[in-house]
Amino acid sequence: MPAIFIGRFQPFHKGHLKAIKWILERKNEILIVIRSIQEFSMEENPFSFNERKEMLERTFLTEKN
């Protein structure tokens, strides 16, 4: 059963990456869930779902290489 990591990722940052790496040291699989935002606010939630998804994808593509 995979570990589950849920976050808004507004933006995805080094703390998120550190937590994910910590989990992966203990579990073989992780499911990363991008939490929905109740209200769009440029100040608190400046990134759309697609932008946050792209941040995660770019980070992990870079980490693999």
Residues 11-41 pLDDT 10s: 999 999 999 999 999 999 999 999 987 766 6
Question: Does the pLDDT at position 65 exceed 60?
Answer: no
Q: 9: alpha, beta or left, given left = phi > 0 and alpha = psi -120 to 50?
A: left
Nearest to 2 by CA among 32, 29, 35: 29
| pTM confidence score | 0.80
Percent of the chain with pLDDT over 70: 92
